[in-house]
Structure 1
Amino acid sequence: MDERTRQAERFEGERARLRAMAYRMLGSVSEADDAVQETWLRLGRTDAAGIENLGGWLTTVAARVCLNMLRARESRREEPLGASAPEPVAGHRDGGAPEEEAILADSVGLALLVVLDTLSPAERIAFVLHDLFAVPFDEIAPMIERSPTATRQLASRARRRVKGVSPAPAADPALQRRVVEAFLTATRGGDFDALVRLLHPDVVLRADPAVIPTPTPVVVRGARTVAEGAMAAMGRARSTRTGLVDGTAGLVMAPGGRLFLVLAFTITDGVITGIDVIADPERLRRIDIAVLDA
């Protein structure tokens, strides 16, 4: 048996699960099949022999394909699926095998799909992967380019909506801005103790590889460790300004008017629980940024 045949057999063993996952994310059998097909094509362009965990690799690739499809759907401002019933499983054009259709139908009523369609793409991916497929938040976070803490919050917000409970009120924007400004002031002034007070003891900072030249994102945990890192960046803080990062208070560094990096904060009960440091040009292009101070 040649390598291509073995690769195809391994993929077929995962197809039903991938299709069920994609259907829950997209609410459309035809789009789910397209996502699975794209995942297969990407596998064909990859050296499968070097993939230790094929199931995990396929989950990651399929989720990212679905996320791109959801984002494209939003950017085209298509009519939401909730306005017209999600595509049912029965009568699919490709006539999927009965066992596959059973997997799709299990626990996926039209009502659930309609609710899922009210979620943002990131919320939908986080909820489906974690709550329906038991994928850990640490594995989901890189797929949606968020910290594990932020990913957990997205899934929690989605879960409340799916259960018919309105999401908790958004955090006070004024409080968020005060916390972020206090963080910047403490960093500029080298006030280590003030920084530690602003940070949750279990705060998580995640920096993408464009911030620090490493093969994978850097993850730092703990208030004192994060505060020490902020002290090391005190010089950069002098060219940093407060701003809105995707509508939430954050920090923006743009020396000479050229965007260099942003810090996105997760703030809970007045303390910082998560910081995402983003410098990758492609990620920066997808962020809505507005500088608040001069």
Structure 2
Amino acid sequence: MNLDLTGKLALVTGSTRGIGLATATGLAQMGAEVIVNGREAASVANAIAKIKQAAPAAKAYAAAFDLGGPEGCAGLTAQFPQVDILVNNLGIYEPGAFFDIEDDAWTRMFEVNVMSGVRLTRHYLKRMLDHKDWGRVVFVSSESAIFVPKEMIHYGFSKAAQLYVARGAAEQTKATNITVNSVLPGPTWVEMAPVRLAARAESMGTTIDDLAARTFTERRPASLLQRYATPEEVANLICYVCSKASSATNGAALRADGGIVTNPF
């Protein structure tokens, strides 16, 4: 199995922590040069240090841009006009009751989670097709795209939109060595998980441990994994899809959801 990405340049958006950082680290360990993106220069530098600790020979470049709007995307593409691998990982997550979610929250969710990937894919995929004979684009969606959570419908909506964008973009790649796919994580224990659970636990008068357990007894009882995945477990699938070994996988939605989605197709 050819997992060597030596000589390839990969951009992972939202890669200063969580699944994004684990993916950038994995790609670096596979030999790729990586562009690390975050809003703050300090967090990007810290992430690069972590990547180089895991992969001492890695070449990593800083891209401190807020990609939640067209200006940040334009700045990033100007600094790095061409890449071999694009991982659209950037995303925000915000629970809220449907009747309490105002228009600006819907707009922000769409701009960050969907339009960042649209803008970057429009730029980089076009150049892959025009100038290269190989390329990979991956959208990091969510099981919430299929199993829409009632506590954050706008998030599920944005993740479902990513699936359609990715499939439509994949249609542009017929008879090439360029692929566009989606990966759908399930509940993942990223750095912000305890913070989010702590806020919810306080409002509900319970504990973080109780809420974590209830994730799989109440919110996602269909889970076969019955625990949070680690960022590395999700990144393993993303990195494979970015590799040369995944050449026959295109236009697909691949799940790393722990078995939450019961539909086998």
Structure-1-length-normalised TM-score: 0.26
Higher RCO structure, 1 or 2 (CA under 8 Å, sep 6+):
2
Query: Greater helix share, 1 or 2?
Result: 1
Structure possessing the higher radius of gyration over alpha carbons: 1
**Normalised by the size of structure 2, how large is the TM-score?**
0.28
